[in-house]
A and B are shown apart, each in its own frame.
Chain A
Amino acid sequence: MLFEKTQRQILKNPFTAPGEGGKRIPASRLPAVFAVVLGVLVSMLPTTAYPAGFTDEVDISGRLSTEAWLYPQSAAYPDQHSYAGGLALETTFYVENDEGTSITVTPFLRYDAGDPERTYGDFREAYLLMYGDIGDGEWELRLGIDRVFWGVVELRSLVDIINQTDVAEHPNEKTKMGQPMAHLTWSGEWGALEFFATTWHRARTYPGPRGRQRYEFIVDQDMISYESGAKEWNIDLASRYSGLFGPLEIGLSVFNGTNREPTLLPIFLDSGLVLAPHYERIRQFGVDAQLNRGSLLLKLEAIYRAGARNSRYIQHLNTLEEEDYAAFILGSEYTLYSILGSNSDLVLFAEWTYDGRGRWATNAFENDLFIAARLGLNDTHGTEFVVSVLGSLNKSSRVLAGEFKRRLSSDNWLLHIETSAFLDIDEDDFIYYVRRDSYVKINLGYSF
């Protein structure tokens, strides 16, 4: 069998090391893990003599939400359900002492009735934060699991690379998994310089066989491999400078380590064909900038990534072709305040995203235009409407999306409805697999 041979080749490849991957906590182990964490947290909370005196400020907040995903079209692949839905709980525990040193722990739990891959737990955050003066400036150290955001545009994050994306959570790739790291910041009037050392590489999540918005073949998380011999324990280094020059905000970043985006290689198992995630070592240079021109914001994100691959499959090696590439997003945001004498604000977005790998890009953003409008009523309910269209400039594919958000009268409840329609998805398009996965998602959340 062709695929058996190639699989053996992959496993024999000296530059390839299989690994476990920093996976999410599986459903079976959830109760035990969270019982331990809650126990530790609860023991920290009382005002009895806690060694470091973390009694100055204690705060618990969070959000419990229930959501439903409905897919009106019949599925493209067998096993796929026409719905997904369940409950999610994200709670943040925060304690701080007199010196401002704090501990933040944010466990996240989700139960999904449709796709077992979406029943899991994760630590979005679990870190110690301390800071102090250094000369005219300031230092800040964050140790533990944290989330970091880089970037300026709305469509997607290009330069942002510290955290893994939780694709199973939401296919818009905006939800992040917690990443263990040491994060040191040195800041002053000249800007901020940040250093990151991360390890325990988190494996990107993917929907399971029953889930929608997935590839034709299932990504098998037991088949993860790494280029780094240290596997998921490779130490990835990153640094970022961010500064403010009058109306210009600029960020320059470099990342050297294991890619967050895997190369998915076909492997033939007894059960059928699966996709095996392989994580290469890459080096990425990034720039993000925003220029403030009154009501108009001009934005740029660009990366150069070395050591990555494109989506051209080389059959005799069972791998994807290596290609160093550049990609950018040019964007603008224009705000009309108090439109027609009302309290409402209308924000218009236009973003052009381009990937140097062209049709061999490993995502749907090879050459696309994104146009969106957000209407905020600025009422007591915080009512908000968003409509957007993402269109390919080379192909027929279009994604229409709409969003509605409103706080309900009791103030703690927030209703969030979103819908996406995948139209005329080109057979050649990278996202051809979602062509029948237009959806409506309804989320009702209670914040506390």
Chain B
Amino acid sequence: MIRFSIPRTMLALLGSFLAICFWPTESYSDLLSGTAEEVGLKVATESRENQKGFGNFTASLTMTLRNKQGKETQRSLRLKVIEIPEDGDRTLFVFDHPKDVKGTAFLVHAHKEGPDQQWLYLPALKRVKGISASKQSGSFMGSEFSYEDMGAVEVGKFTHRFLREEPCGDLKCLVLERIPKSQDSGYSRQVVWLDREELRTIQVHYFDRRNEHLKTMVVEGYAKYLDRFWRSSTITMTNLLTGKSTVLLWSDYKFGIDLDTKDFTRTALKRVR
């Protein structure tokens, strides 16, 4: 009888190998290993990667602008987004309300690195106007959102740092700090709460150039589209200095429709409705 003995150390190695393979939150523990900067970058990258691959979508937006006294004003617009592989998204906004800006459209070619390109279409003049890329810190339609708050957050435009893990409502969150690389950004830094399970943005604190806590954004009402993509229904941005706030309501999400890059050119901008 031949005794086939396996050394104890081998068994231990095999066991830990299997443990690693089947560990329930294996990616999670991997995710959090490394320096704060490494973890920050990994988490931000994975969060961004989770959103990728949707191809394109359209949606409607209603903005409710609320001043300090609680007086409300409504804005409405539609948008189309297309993913560009290896680059930032392209987004086309068309304003419906207020009526005097109806038909005004705004086209953004976001880039992974470097400044984005932006054009405004003014229907009364039929003019397409190239806009300074530094417009990112300006207010979007008089709301508490600035242009840079409206698009997808490209990882390459920030340096990231993992801060801590903490509960956020019913969820558990990873807290990151991200510092914009662009001098044109209105922010010195942002602190982001991402839920641990899906790495969705739950809350962001924005700090102005004087490092004062300027705004807080809270994201709610996540629903899953195409079995993969989480999209929120309500985003509230509160300005802590002025007491004003803006609520963004998303609706009519449509994915996988017949859109291509030709719908995001300056020529296409001139025929938007």
Contact check: which of B102, B117, B128 meets A61 at CB < 8 Å? B102
Task: Tell me whether A358 is interfacial, beta carbon within 8 Å.
Answer: no
Could you tell me if B267 and A187 are in contact, using CB atoms closer than 8 angstroms?
Answer: yes
Known: A57-B273, A407-B98, A445-B100. A133 touches B262 (CB 8 A): yes
In the complex, chain B residues whose CB is within 8 Å of the CB of A381: 142
In the complex, chain B residues whose CB is within 8 Å of the CB of A345: 138-139
B108-149 to A contact mask, C-beta < 8 Å, 1/0: 000000010100000001111110111101110010000000
Could you tell me if B98 and A411 are in contact, using CB atoms closer than 8 angstroms?
Answer: yes
How many positions in chain A have a CB within 8 Å of any CB in the partner chain? 52
Tell me how far the C-beta of B63 lies from the nearest C-beta in chain A, rounded to whole angstroms: 10
Could you tell me if B273 and A140 are in contact, using CB atoms closer than 8 angstroms?
Answer: no
Could you tell me if B100 and A147 are in contact, using CB atoms closer than 8 angstroms?
Answer: no
Could you tell me if A337 and B266 are in contact, using CB atoms closer than 8 angstroms?
Answer: no
Task: Tell me whether B87 is interfacial, beta carbon within 8 Å.
Answer: no
Could you tell me if B142 and A343 are in contact, using CB atoms closer than 8 angstroms?
Answer: yes
Known: A292-B133, A335-B132. A412 touches B115 (CB 8 A): no
Could you tell me if B137 and A411 are in contact, using CB atoms closer than 8 angstroms?
Answer: no
In the complex, chain B residues whose CB is within 8 Å of the CB of A187: 262, 265, 267
B59-98 to A contact mask, C-beta < 8 Å, 1/0: 0000001010000011000000000000000000000011
Contact check: which of B65, B73, B102, B267 meets A192 at CB < 8 Å? B267
Stretch at the interface among A2-10, A293-301, A303-311: A293-301
Task: Tell me whether A72 is interfacial, beta carbon within 8 Å.
Answer: no
Give Cα A274 to B109, complex, Å. 54
In the complex, chain B residues whose CB is within 8 Å of the CB of A341: 208, 210, 241
Give Cα A161 to B134, complex, Å. 31
Known: A63-B100, A411-B99. A297 touches B265 (CB 8 A): no
Could you tell me if B139 and A378 are in contact, using CB atoms closer than 8 angstroms?
Answer: yes
A: residues with CB less than 8 A from B are: 57, 59, 61, 63, 94, 96, 102, 129, 131, 133, 137-138, 140, 147-149, 151-152, 174, 185, 187, 189, 192, 242, 244, 247, 249, 290, 292, 294-297, 333, 335, 337-338, 341, 343, 345, 378-382, 407, 411-412, 414, 445, 447-448
What 7 pairs across the A-B complex have the smallest Cβ distances? A447-B99, A378-B139, A149-B127, A447-B100, A380-B73, A295-B134, A187-B267
Pick 28 A–B contacts, CB within 8 A, sort by A. A63-B100, A133-B262, A147-B126, A149-B126, A187-B265, A192-B265, A192-B267, A247-B115, A292-B115, A294-B133, A294-B134, A295-B132, A296-B132, A335-B134, A337-B134, A337-B137, A338-B138, A341-B208, A343-B139, A378-B142, A380-B65, A382-B101, A411-B73, A412-B98, A414-B100, A445-B100, A447-B98, A448-B99
